[in-house]
Amino acid sequence: MKILLNNKSLFKSLRPFKDIGFVPTMGGIHKGHLSLINRSNHNNKKTIVSIFINPKQFNNKKDLKTYPSNLKKDLSILKKTKKVDFVYVPTFKDVFDNKKKSKINIKKNDKILCAKFRKGHFEGVLDVMDRLTKLINPKKIYMGKKDYQQFYLVKNFLENRYKIKVIGCKTIRNKNKVALSSRNYLLKKDELRIASEVSKKIIHLKKKLKVKKNIKNFLFLNKLKIQNLLKIKIEYLELRNINDLKISNSLSNSKLFLAYYIGKVRLIDNY
């Protein structure tokens, strides 16, 4: 596993290879990330993982400051997998010091879910993904469906611009149904227990949707109930079609999308 700390070594190391699978991360490596790496390793000659906390996608400065980061530990976990050929750990300059800037706008119809609550977040995500794609020139990019809206927007954006495939990978959960996330490192034990209760409640709720006529109303009432019961703040709880992310009134091709706060930690998931 070669660690690439600047663009010069990136270009030099990747030059001989055409068949590259890319797993972008912000570090805080966990088994969710490792599942993407496994998939890439299986389907590509070489796998590159990036570790870069992109300041441009943080709409909240405190969130950026407290974002979990432990490069030494991350590198040690990645090395142990024996499935990563390169780890790219660029500086801000490596990624953003490029004169050509294209203004990225999210369409009005796409300003839903996290795009509605985190102003500028996805513009920052698309910007960094565009730049990383240009720098790395991978054939395939592996992303988690836990961050479904991110996967959906990045896939549409990059596949329109480059000869590339963005592949969505299933959400990895712990035994208590909590989706793995770097942000879970910020939760105390009892908060992690609340996250597990939330997941179990939403999974149960989804089963009940099968027989409901007015889904929107049912979700609104249950959002209030769950908020009160578990003392959390739910930002959204919506059933949406996975192909266009429009509000859905039936379970077919649809998922329940959830964002909520436990204390100051914001978590997202979909079921």
| 177 vs 212 by CB, closer to ligand AMP | 177
Kindly report the CA angle at 177 between 119 and 204, in degrees rounded to 5? Answer: 90
* Least gap, CB of 144 to ligand AMP (angstroms): 2
Nearer to ligand AMP, 166 or 239 (CB): 166
Closest approach of ligand AMP to the CB of residue 124, in Å: 12
- Reply yes or no on whether 30 is catalytic: no
Question: Any contact of residue 166 with ligand AMP (CB under 6 A)?
Answer: no
Out of 147, 158, 194, 232, the residue judged to bind ligand AMP by CB under 6 A: 147
268 binds ligand AMP (CB under 6 A): no
How many residues comprise the chain?
A: 271
Map the footprint of ligand AMP across residues 24-53, applying CB under 6 A: 25-26, 32-33, 35-36
Determine if 270 is a binding residue for ligand AMP (CB under 6 A). Answer: no
Identity of the residue, 106 or 179, whose beta carbon is nearer to ligand AMP in the bound complex: 179
10 residue type, one letter: L
Instruction: Candidates 14-22, 91-99, 173-181, 223-231: pick the segment binding ligand AMP (CB under 6 A).
Output: 173-181
Four-residue CA torsion sign, 259, 262, 263, 264: negative
State the DSSP string of 165-212: EEEEEPPPB-TTSPBP-GGGGGS-HHHHHHHHHHHHHHHHHHHHHTT-
Q: Which stretch binds ligand AMP (CB under 6 A): 71-79, 106-114, 180-188, 223-231?
A: 180-188
103 three-state secondary structure: coil
Question: Can you tell me the distance from the alpha carbon of 107 to that of 67, in angstroms, rounded to the nearest whole number?
Answer: 28
Residue closer to ligand AMP, measured from CB, 138 or 144: 144
Nearer to ligand AMP, 13 or 38 (CB): 38
Output b/e per residue, 5-36; b: 16+ Cβ within 10 A: eebeebeebbeebeebbbbbbbbbbbebbbbb
Minimal distance, residue 194 CB to ligand AMP, in Å: 18
The answer to whether residue 149 forms part of the interface with ligand AMP (CB under 6 A) is no
Which two tokens mark 170? 């299933």
* Count of residues of this chain found to bind ligand AMP when the rule CB under 6 A is applied: 17
Which tokens in the block code for residue 112? 């839903």
C-alpha–C-alpha distance, residues 223 and 109, integer Å? 24
CB of 264 to ligand AMP, least distance (A): 17
- Give Cα 110 to chain centroid, integer Å: 17
Q: Kind and range of the H or E element at 81? A: helix 71-81
Q: Which of 164, 167, 172, 192 binds ligand AMP (CB under 6 A)?
A: 172
Euclidean distance between CA atoms 58 and 220, whole angstroms: 28
For residues 235-254, which are near ligand AMP according to CB under 6 A? none
Nearest partner of 182 among 86, 73, 41, judged by Cα: 73
Q: How far is the CB of 36 from ligand AMP (least distance, A)?
A: 6
Binding stretches for ligand AMP (CB under 6 A): 25-26, 32-33, 35-36, 143-144, 146-147, 169, 171-172, 179-182
